[in-house]
Amino acid sequence: MTKHYIGCLGMALLTQALFLSPALAQPGGDRPEPPQFQAPIYIDRPQWMDYETPQSEPLANVSKRVASYGEQSYDIDTLLYNGTGAIDIVVMGDGYTDLEQDKLTRDAKACTDHLFETSPFDRYKSFFNVFVLHIVSPESGISHPGQWKQETDSTGRMVCPENSPLPIVNKKTFFSTHLDGWGTHRIIGAWGEHKAKDLIRLYFPRCKFPCILCNTDEYGGAGGDILIATCNRASSDIYVHELAHVFGDLADEYFGGDVYMCEKPNLSATRDSSRVRWARWLDDPEVGVFPHRGGRIGSRYVKPTQASETSRYCKMERLDKEFCPVCRERLVEAIHEQVSLIADALPADTVLSPLKKREKMTFALERVFEAEGDTLSITWSIDGQEVARDTRAITVSGRQLSPNQTHEIRVEVHDASPFVRNPRCRELHTQSRTWMVARRR
Ligand SMILES: [Zn+2]
Ligand SMILES: [Zn+2]
Ligand SMILES: [Zn+2]
């Protein structure tokens, strides 16, 4: 594997039953269970997210709010704020001591800045909030435990399953993050992941994209319920790649093993180019129907792109590439699934008291989530007849309405993203607000 590839347990968690079998998790695995730690038993995200939580107030745009865990309290910083209704990303540091909290802010900022420089997230930055939770760890860095009982050196010490020269060390950190997850040096696990889930439930109940950022320059990370990244210089790309697993339910476009093979937006057993999931993108010369090389099941599955030195795509195969159009479309859809384009509209009531003939009333979009690239269209109508276009507000006078009749004032907001071709998504990209108003005699 080259340095651009990273094992992503994110997808594997969806096939968790497979993952509970060490033999499948570790090919050639008649090895014993890891002696030093228990592999965390993951619960699918929807289950833990549905866990009953006290609905805490949405965080306002104030820096320095505080989250408590046990006896300790930790500061919350706001890196990006676009209001309630935006998608919350929460970055929690691990292995950052009290003196390293400014470094955590810088590292978190580097990752999120990179996310919002990457297409399609660059156009949708205004759809996100980013918070940093300043978790303080007793020690700096993360653990490198070595993993398997049989892999000890002549003195009986644990060694890294992939012989990384990094010393074997156990660090006291808040989330107990560690390399050598599932027998692979670069895969990072967190024995204290439940603490991250507790904190998210309590303080960020709407956040579906929590991230633990590890204070190490070692290359590594993992997807899953909680995205895990490091400060390696490739870290920002790992962060974006792992987020795409969690956020868009995307598959890796490199072959990571038969256990990962299942239907995904960018992975399919349908090979027929007219029926393949991404048929509508095949006019792009770099998009095609490419088989996964390797594996008994893998060779039956196809993917939309094939990374090479000269191709642009795809970040789900190589970290230094862009997302391919198929993955990009899925990510834009996922953004629209999370955010309602109309955040606030006035009047707040939708059934209004009747208007007199000379009376006027203003209807307004107070706050709209708008992607960059001028793709938003706004259409106002009265009883189905268009009356205005691409304006945030209209004024309706009693004269425009027939007496003793109820009228429907409607605004429709649509994001005509060029990244989306799936006609079924049009509905998702269109949101409306309707008011009912009668004309008084
Ligand atoms: Zn991956
Ligand atoms: Zn290792
Ligand atoms: Zn892709």
What is the domain partition of the chain in residue ranges?
A: 9-248, 340-438
User: Whole-angstrom distance between the N-terminal and C-terminal Cα of the chain?
Assistant: 77
Ligand found nearest the CA of 241: 1
Residue 43 has pLDDT above 60, yes or no: no
Expressed in angstroms and rounded, the spacing between residue 138 Cα and the centre of ligand 1 is 31
Stretch 356-361: mean pLDDT:
92
Expressed in angstroms and rounded, the spacing between residue 196 Cα and the centre of ligand 3 is 29
Expressed in angstroms and rounded, the spacing between residue 326 Cα and the centre of ligand 3 is 6
Residue-level pLDDT at 160: 84
Sequence-separated (6 or more) residues with CB below 8 Å from residue 285: none
Beta bridge partners of 394: 363
Expressed in angstroms and rounded, the spacing between residue 371 Cα and the centre of ligand 2 is 42
Expressed in angstroms and rounded, the spacing between residue 53 Cα and the centre of ligand 3 is 35
Residue 150 has pLDDT above 80, yes or no: no
Expressed in angstroms and rounded, the spacing between residue 17 Cα and the centre of ligand 2 is 25
Expressed in angstroms and rounded, the spacing between residue 276 Cα and the centre of ligand 3 is 14
Q: Please give the CATH architecture assigned to the domain spanning 340-438.
A: Sandwich (2.60)
Domain 9-248 has CATH 3.40.50.1370: no
Cα(282)–Cα(304) distance, integer angstroms:
8
Ligand found nearest the CA of 254: 1
Expressed in angstroms and rounded, the spacing between residue 245 Cα and the centre of ligand 1 is 7
Considering only CA atoms, which of 406, 412, 409, 405 is closest in space to residue 395?
409
Cα(406)–Cα(427) distance, integer angstroms:
26
Considering only CA atoms, which of 285, 222, 198, 298 is closest in space to residue 255?
298
Q: Which residues line ion ligand 1, judged by CB < 5 Å? A: 8, 252
Contact 118, 369 (CB under 8 A): no
Residue-level pLDDT at 321: 93
Ligand found nearest the CA of 322: 3
Residue 201 has pLDDT above 80, yes or no: yes
Percent pLDDT > 70 in the chain is: 83
Least confident of 145-149, 276-280, 385-389, 417-421: 145-149
The confidence band for 68, taking pLDDT boundaries of 50, 70 and 90, is: confident
Cα(271)–Cα(143) distance, integer angstroms:
43
Look at 98 and 59; give whichever has higher pLDDT.
Answer: 98
Ligand found nearest the CA of 185: 2
In tens, the pLDDT along 225-270 reads 889 999 887 778 888 998 898 888 899 998 878 888 889 999 999 9
Instruction: Give the pair of three-digit tokens for residue 254.
Output: 């490199």
Expressed in angstroms and rounded, the spacing between residue 4 Cα and the centre of ligand 3 is 15
Expressed in angstroms and rounded, the spacing between residue 123 Cα and the centre of ligand 2 is 38
Cα(244)–Cα(238) distance, integer angstroms:
10
User: Is residue 76 within a helix (H) or strand (E), and if so which, with residue range?
Assistant: strand 72-80
Expressed in angstroms and rounded, the spacing between residue 329 Cα and the centre of ligand 1 is 17
Look at 428 and 325; give whichever has higher pLDDT.
Answer: 325
Q: Which residues line ion ligand 2, judged by CB < 5 Å? A: 160, 164, 179-180, 185
Expressed in angstroms and rounded, the spacing between residue 313 Cα and the centre of ligand 1 is 14
Expressed in angstroms and rounded, the spacing between residue 237 Cα and the centre of ligand 3 is 14
Ligand found nearest the CA of 229: 1
Expressed in angstroms and rounded, the spacing between residue 163 Cα and the centre of ligand 2 is 6
Ligand found nearest the CA of 187: 2
In this prediction the pTM is 0.82
